[in-house]
Amino acid sequence: MLVSRRPRTFAASLGSRTESTPVARQLLRAYLAALPAGDRYRDTAELLLGELFANAVQHTDAPTDRLIEIRFSLTPDHRLRLEVHDAGTGRPSLHTPTPDDEHGRGVLLVNELAEKWGCCPRAGGIGKFVWALIAPTPSPAPTALTLLTV
């Protein structure tokens, strides 16, 4: 019998409100804590999940009682895949904000920090999901102090 050592896909549905964004990040931190090298994804993953979730809340045309689903999984090539599913019809678009713009940098951050990202229609035809692949950050090289304490 083969047993996979990779955590399975995690999925949760959260309310479509701003207060759910920190809950989504907390769930991501718990998921990453179960990965052997989960800390190598954490900073980028938390930032991107926060942006994707906030965009799903702010830019939706779906009824306010619709939930937003988040999914996390580790791909066979050790990329972290984040997905944010919502019932809205709008799709994210990349544009360059002006220095005076108060908003509009979320997709720019996703584009710069994710290895790849995209937007797809949801199964069943209601809404979409935005996904991002995140490569692990390199492990820091051992320092002389690290070698002395080992």
Least confident piece of the model among 91-95, 123-127, 140-144: 140-144
57-76 pLDDT per residue, tens: 988 888 888 999 999 999 99
> What's the pLDDT score for residue 141?
62
With respect to residue 110, please indicate whether it lies within any of the assigned structural domains.
yes
What is the C-alpha to C-alpha distance for residues 55 and 67, in angstroms, rounded to an integer? 14
Q: 127 is in which domain, residue-wise? A: 10-149
Task: Provide the 10 A C-beta neighbour count for residue 71.
Answer: 16
b/e sequence 22-56, b meaning 16+ C-beta within 10 Å: eebbebbeebbeebeebebbbebbbbbbbbbbbbb
For 46, the enclosing helix (H) or strand (E) is helix 42-58
29-50 pLDDT per residue, tens: 999 999 989 999 999 999 999 9
With respect to residue 4, please indicate whether it lies within any of the assigned structural domains.
no
Q: Between 8 and 15, where is the model more confident? A: 15
Domain count, the chain: 1
With respect to residue 3, please indicate whether it lies within any of the assigned structural domains.
no
With respect to residue 1, please indicate whether it lies within any of the assigned structural domains.
no
Region 5-24: mean pLDDT is: 88
With respect to residue 128, please indicate whether it lies within any of the assigned structural domains.
yes
> What's the pLDDT score for residue 2?
45
With respect to residue 118, please indicate whether it lies within any of the assigned structural domains.
yes
Residue 97 banded pLDDT, cuts 50, 70, 90? confident
Backbone φ/ψ region at 97: left (φ over 0), alpha (ψ -120 to 50), beta: beta
Task: Provide the 10 A C-beta neighbour count for residue 107.
Answer: 19
Least confident piece of the model among 4-18, 61-75, 116-130: 4-18
What is the C-alpha to C-alpha distance for residues 82 and 71, in angstroms, rounded to an integer? 6
Q: Does the pLDDT at position 18 exceed 70?
A: yes
With respect to residue 29, please indicate whether it lies within any of the assigned structural domains.
yes
